[in-house]
Amino acid sequence: MPADRVYTREQANALLPWLTERLTELPSVARELRKAQDAVRALGERARGNGHHDIDRERSRTEQEAAVLMRKVRRVLEEITDRGIQVRDVDIGLVDFPGERDGKPVWLCWKVGEKAVDHWHEHDQGFSSRQPF
């Protein structure tokens, strides 16, 4: 689907089961990725100048784990963004669908846990400015 796609509320709502499935798993994977990246940095500090091969092996293993997690996060985000949907916050599952209201381009705003796409906001505004339909 083209990135310049415009969604109706009905079309956006039809994607919510698919989107919920992807966005529900994403925060935990992103947290694990951040932990692995932090561990790689910490192991790098410990290994600097100490010459212990066990730390180097642990760092290498942790880097590989981080790479697997990064690929998983990227794959899920690409699946979503390939449909023109913008992921605004991974941790709360906040997304914007490109839409229209009264012939004007807007974002149809939704987050995990909401039953339907019931809010919108202007392109130059964000979540705090969203309004109900």
pTM over 0.85: no
Distance CA 45, CA 38 (A): 11
pLDDT value, residue 2: 45
pLDDT value, residue 53: 63
**Spans of all domains in the chain:** 9-132
pLDDT value, residue 51: 59
98 beta partners? 107
Q: Which of 120, 117, 114 is nearest to 24 (CA)?
A: 114
pLDDT value, residue 99: 97
pLDDT value, residue 1: 40
Place of tokens 């705090």: 128
Distance CA 19, CA 32 (A): 21
Per residue of the chain (133 residues), what is the pLDDT tens digit? 445 799 999 999 999 999 999 999 888 888 888 888 888 888 777 666 555 666 777 777 888 888 998 999 999 999 999 999 999 999 899 999 999 999 999 999 999 999 999 999 999 999 999 999 9
pLDDT value, residue 39: 84
pLDDT value, residue 29: 87
